[in-house]
Structure 1
Amino acid sequence: MVSHRLYWTLSILSCFGQYFGQEDLQFPDPANGAIGGSVVLAPDNPPSISILTTQWFFTTTYIISVTSGVAQVNSAYEGRVSVNSSTFALELRNLTLNDSGIYRLTLTPTAGGPLTGETKLQVFEKISNVRLTGPEESLIEGNSSANISSEGTGSITSVEWMKDNSPLSPSNRIIFSPDHRSVSISPVQRSDSGEYLCSYRNPVSSETAKLRLNISYGPEDVSIEGLNVVDLGVLVSLSCSANSEPSASFSWRFNGTDTGVTTDTFTIEKTDLTHTGDYECTASNSVTKRSASQKHALLVQDYLG
């Protein structure tokens, strides 16, 4: 009596399993492939029992059937498919976008009912020809805006931006387009200088393009290094520096008169009393069209006096 009830219980559970679509063969996560490439679809749990017939289907389209080692292939798949007799895996070659979809495996044992399972394949076009275009004009801190646009071909599933190898994040100045394929920076700051990278990705390929932005600023923080009091007959050097991008050019005035010196260093080979006075260094930036100056007082003393 117990055996009879157990038989009916197992039969009912089996019916419910079929009704709710339970499958005997389990597959890993959906597979990905590239156009022109190949992919292997293999169940995680191939049965160890004797299998008479192995059949693969694409949705409802028959692909290949192997019975007792003899394969029959749909003419549409001729030369593109094969089945591993041990793992029942399907190898599909020369992939096209039309190969994306649901694949179903049916195994017919020599005894008992069929075993089934299904998996999904997504075919992608490899990404190529990724490039970045940016502003051609000079960018000046606080005045300019920069727009960087990306282009590329292939099945693009994600776009990632980085600056100097760190993720580029949106802010009140940095705004991405809805498709994330372009970014606008306004107004630019000196911290925006650096190398920008844009990567197009999909599960089977990726490609990155680079673009460098240089933000011009300054000059500012002009300073002069040198002695303030010197003796007669000595060599004196005054060195001028400024914070500027691109590097500043320099000019020197002495007591309001242009000296003709256009280097960062003003040199007096041998001092005399006429060298006492105010030395003014002016730093200029050819891109920002800005300039800034600093003065330095020098006293040449006559130690004999």
Structure 2
Amino acid sequence: MGCTGAGILPQGPVIGAVAGTAKLTTSIRPPERPFLSVSWSFNEANIITSTSKNVTDAGYADRIFLDRATASLELRDLRLEDSGDYTVSIMPDGGLRQEGKITLNVYALISGASISSPSAVLIEDKSSTNLTCEASGNISTTVWIKDGRPLRPSERVVFSANNKTVFLQPVHNSHHGTFQCRVSNPVSSLTVAHNLIVNFGPHNVSIVGPSPISPGPGVALQCIAASVPPANFSWTFNGNDTHVNSSLYVIEQLEVDNFGNYTCTARNTVTMMENSTFLNLRASCTAPCCSFSMLLVGALTLSLK
């Protein structure tokens, strides 16, 4: 006897999680007269045959439910070994036998995700390191994220074939911060974070302060630098040490003799690097007091000579 049945099961695959439930649902409407028989097989081995009674394979006892009216099958307490091809065979009361096949993929839930990295002091352009993402369960995809954005391969960033490990060769100041690894499969996903410390700098040293400025009330000069760890600062005025060792240089009362070159030097005690910048603090002149101020500055300069 011939058979039909194309389309009685979806194309699939059906996805299930370990310890969960999967439904292999047919598109058949309940017939007016019950099917003469319904049978399901797994990888060509029969698991249940239903005629006037149900005969179930011992390995599926209490784990399957057959909807006799539609021939749909429900599998419970799923196991990884339940992954495979399922075939249904239906003999209607009159008409041709119907058959359909569908694949079930069972995945273990992902758990215990973590990122490991060698313990070492990292210095920009001098050190290299790697980050490895590990987790339990069936991992389909691994995605790396840096500071909330997808991490892309580059001359310094290289991924292993399965994306499990990312190599930073050598580290850059942009690598300082939070790395995330997101591992996922069709039934679960986990994201784990790792804070990577890259010592760098000082870079981009600058002095923030008003110039030109009129003599009078005090003024503060702020030295800033991009540095990990934070930089130490020192100041000189016209080449002379001021004994000020903080990022803030405060002039309580701005006098004519306070005008000149203020140099800030930033030092990093880990990278052993230092960088300097200067600000020429000069007077803002408006006649007639400007003329008097400039004459005074000139007189002071002559007297110093």
Residue number in structure 1 paired with 2:299: none
Among candidates 23, 36, 41, match of residue 52 of structure 1: 36
Give runs of aligned pairs for residues 208-287 of structure 1, distance below 5 A. Answer: 208-224=191-207, 225-227=209-211, 230-231=214-215, 234-271=217-254, 275=258, 277-287=260-270
Letter in 2 for 1:27: L
2:7, 2:213 → 1: CA distance? Answer: 93
Residue of 273, 278, 281 corresponding to 1:295: 278
- C-alpha distance 273-199 of structure 1, shift in aligned 2 (>3 A): closer
**Is 1:177 matched with 2:160?**
yes
Contact preservation (8 Å) 1:219, 1:285: yes
Picking from 50, 53, 65, the partner of 2:49 is: 65
Unaligned runs of 5+ in 2: 284-289, 297-305
- Cα separation, 2, equivalents of 1:172 and 1:107: 60
Which segment is superposed worse, 253-262 or 268-277?
268-277
Partner of 1:106: 89
Is 1:27–2:27 an aligned residue pair? Answer: no
Amino acid at match of 1:80: R
Letter in 1 for 2:81: N
Report the 3-state secondary structure (helix = DSSP H, G, I; strand = E; otherwise coil) of the residue aligned with 2:275: strand
Secondary structure, aligned partner of 2:253: coil
Flag structure 1 segments of 5+ consecutive residues without an equivalent: 1-13
Q: CA deviation at 1:177?
A: 1.2
Please give the residue correspondences for 1:187-206 in structure 2 after superposition, counting only pairs within 5 Å: 187-206=170-189
Deviations 1:245-264 (A, max 9, x none): 44323212234443322222
- Distance in 2 between the 1:156 and 1:138 partners? 31
> Structure 1, residues 87-140: CA drift from partner, whole Å, max 9, x if none?
211111111222222222111222234222222222222211111123433433
User: What is the percent sequence identity of the aligned residues?
Assistant: 36
Note closer, same or farther for the CA distance 1:118–1:172 as it changes in structure 2 (3 Å cut). Answer: same
Residue aligning to 2:128: 145
Q: Is the 8 A contact 1:25 1:45 kept in 2?
A: no
- CA distance in 1 between counterparts of 2:131 and 2:272 reads 25
Corresponding residue SS for 1:235: strand
Equivalent residue number for residue 68 of structure 2: 85
Q: Which moved more, 1:286-295 or 1:270-279?
A: 270-279
Q: C-alpha separation between the residues in 2 aligned to 1:287 and 1:157?
A: 40
TM-score by length of 2: 0.80
Distance 1:44 1:172, change over 3 A: farther
Query: Matched residues in 2 for 1:221 and 1:267: separation?
Result: 21
TM-superposed deviation, 1:141 = 2.6
- 1:145/1:186 contact within 8 Å kept: yes
| Contact 2:90 2:97 survives alignment (8 Å) | yes
Q: Secondary structure at the match of 1:269?
A: strand
CA offset at residue 23 of structure 1? 4.4
Counterpart in the other structure of 2:137: 154
Bigger mean CA deviation after superposition, 31-40 or 111-120: 111-120
Count, aligned residues = 285
